[in-house]
Amino acid sequence: MRGPHNIWRLIRTGATLERTGAMKVVLDAMDAPAPLRIVARAFAWPVQWLGVKGDPDMPPVTRALTALGPAYIKFGQVLSTRPDVVGDELATQLRVLQDQLPAFSSEVARKCIEDELGRPVDEMFSELSEPVAAASIAQVHKARLRETGEEVAVKVLRPDVERAFRKDIDAFYFAASVVEFLSPASRRLHPHDVIAHFEGVVLGELDLRLESASASEFSANTMNDAGFQVPGIRWHLSGRRVMTLDWAEGSGMGDNDALDAAGHNRPELAARVLQLFLSHALRDGFFHADMHQGNLKVAANGNIIAYDFGIMGQIDEYTRRVYAEILYGFIKRDYRRVAEVHFEAGYVPAHQDVDEFARALRAVGEPIFGVDASGISMGSLLSYLFEVTERFGMETRTELILLQRTMVVVEGVARSLDPQMNIWDVAKPIVESYIKDSIGPRAVIGDLVRTVKVLGRFGPRLPQIAEAALIQYSQSPPPAPGPSPLRWIAWLSGGALLLAVGYAAGMYLG
C-alpha cells in the first residue's frame, strides 16, 4: 500500500545511514555542498536511534545498505562500479554487495530446491557445496550432476525476497509522490514511471524461469561473438525459484590482481567489455543490463563469461538508431546533428531552439575529447548534463533508463580495468559499423523488404477489406464537398493493388 505509512520507511532509511556512519561517508564521497550536509545531518541525527544497526563488522555504507534491504543493495551495486563518482575506497567497499553478502543456510537451500523441482537433492546432484556467492536476490551453490558428473551452478532465490522487495518499492513510490508534490519541476523526470520501470525489472528478476529464457536467448544471439561466452541452461533442473546452468570457471572481473597473475591484458579486456555491450545493445536490441564485476568472469583462454541474467534490457530498432546517431554525433563532434536527432525523436520539445541546444551539447562533449578517462570527472559531467536537460525541458525516457544505467555500469567496469581508457575512442568502431549497416542504403532496402512482408500478411484479407470499405462508403451520409466517388474508388483500388503486390512479394520473399 502506497500510503503515508511509508514515511516510517523513509525516516528509517535516513536514520540507518546516520546510525551506521554511512551518511558522512556518502556525503564526503559525493563532495556534497555544505547546505546539503547541514540539512541531511539535521534531519537524520535526532532520529538515528530509529535506524537499523546492521553488521558492525562491515564498512559503514555496506553495513547500511545491507541492513536496509535488497532494493538498496541494488543501488549500492551500481555505485560500486563508479570509483570516479564515489571514490576508489568507497567503490571497493561496495563491491562486496555484488556477490559477497551473507548467505542463508544450505539446509534451507536444499529444501527450496526439493520443493521447487519435486525431487530429492541427492537424486539430482552427487555433490552440493556450501554457498559460493550470495547477492541481494539469490545465492549460488556449486554442484555435480549425478547422471553425468558435470559441474553446474545452482541458483536459489532467498526466502521471502519477494515480500522484502515489494516493501522497498512501495516506499520508493511514496517517495516519488512526495518529490513530485514538493518539487513540481521534477515531474518532467517522471519519478513514478522510473519506479514502475524498476519494479517491472525487479519482479522479472524474481522469476528464475524468465531468467533462464533470457539466458537462452542471449546465448543464441551472441554465440558467434569472439571472446565471449554464456553458460548453458539445464532446463530440466530449473524452475521459478531454482535455476541450474553450466559452471563458469575463471577469474573475477573485479579482481585485478588475479587477472594480472593469470596473464590477462586488462586494457584489452576493458575495451572488449564495452564494445560487447554496445554490440549487443545496437545489433541485437537485447543486452545484459546488470554487467557489474560480480556478474563477469574471465576464463583461462581470455573469454569474458557473463552470468546472472535476471535483468536484461530490450530496445526497439527505431530507438537503437536514435541512440546510435546520438553517440555517433558526439564521436564526430557534430553537435548540430546530435541536437537535430533529439528534436526528431521528440526528446526535446519542438518549441526549443535547436542551435542553442547544440551549443549546450558542445559544452558537454568537447571537454571529453583528447582526454583520457582519468582526466574526466564523470560526476561533473553528469551534473552538467542534468542542468542541460532541465533547461531544455527534456523528459525522462523510460525506454532508455536501463540502457543509460547499464552504460554507466559498463563504463565503470571498463575503467576499473583500464583507468586510461577513453570511452569514445573504444566505442567509435562499433557505432560506425552499426550506422553503416542500419542507416545507409542497405538499411533502406531492408526496411522496404520488411514493409512489403507486413503488407503481404494482409493478402488473404484483401477481398474482405475492400468489401467492408465499399459497404461503409455506400451506407455513409452524402459526402461533404471534396473528392468524388470515383476518386474514392481509385484510392481504394490503389490501396488494394498495393496490398496485392505486398502479398505477392511477401510470399516470394518469405
Catalytic residue IDs: 290
- Under the phi-then-psi rule, with left for phi > 0, alpha for psi from -120 to 50, and beta for the rest, what region is 370? left
Query: Where does residue 225 rank: exposed (0-12), middle (13-18), buried (19+ CB within 10 A)?
Result: middle
Cell of 158: 532467498
Give whole-number Cα distances, 255 to 25, 299, 417, in Å: 24, 13, 9
Please answer whether residues 286 and 313 qualify as being in contact, where contact means their C-beta atoms are separated by less than 8 angstroms.
Answer: yes
For residue 351, the tally of other CB atoms under 10 A from its CB is 6
Query: Where does residue 381 rank: exposed (0-12), middle (13-18), buried (19+ CB within 10 A)?
Result: middle
Please answer whether residues 281 and 403 qualify as being in contact, where contact means their C-beta atoms are separated by less than 8 angstroms.
Answer: yes
Cell of 43: 534531519
Give whole-number Cα distances, 107 to 117, 121, 131, 242, 459, in Å: 16, 11, 11, 15, 60
State the Cα–Cα distance between residues 140 and 377, nearest whole angstrom.
36
Query: Where does residue 109 rank: exposed (0-12), middle (13-18), buried (19+ CB within 10 A)?
Result: buried
**Around 14, how many Cα atoms within 13 Å sit in the side-chain half-sphere?**
16
State the Cα–Cα distance between residues 193 and 21, nearest whole angstrom.
32
DSSP-derived secondary structure letter, 282: I
**Around 383, how many Cα atoms within 13 Å sit in the side-chain half-sphere?**
9
State the Cα–Cα distance between residues 119 and 236, nearest whole angstrom.
11
For residue 220, the tally of other CB atoms under 10 A from its CB is 11
Q: Which of 496, 427, 428, 423 is nearest to 458 (CA)?
A: 496
The pairing of beta strand 251-252 with beta strand 296-298: antiparallel
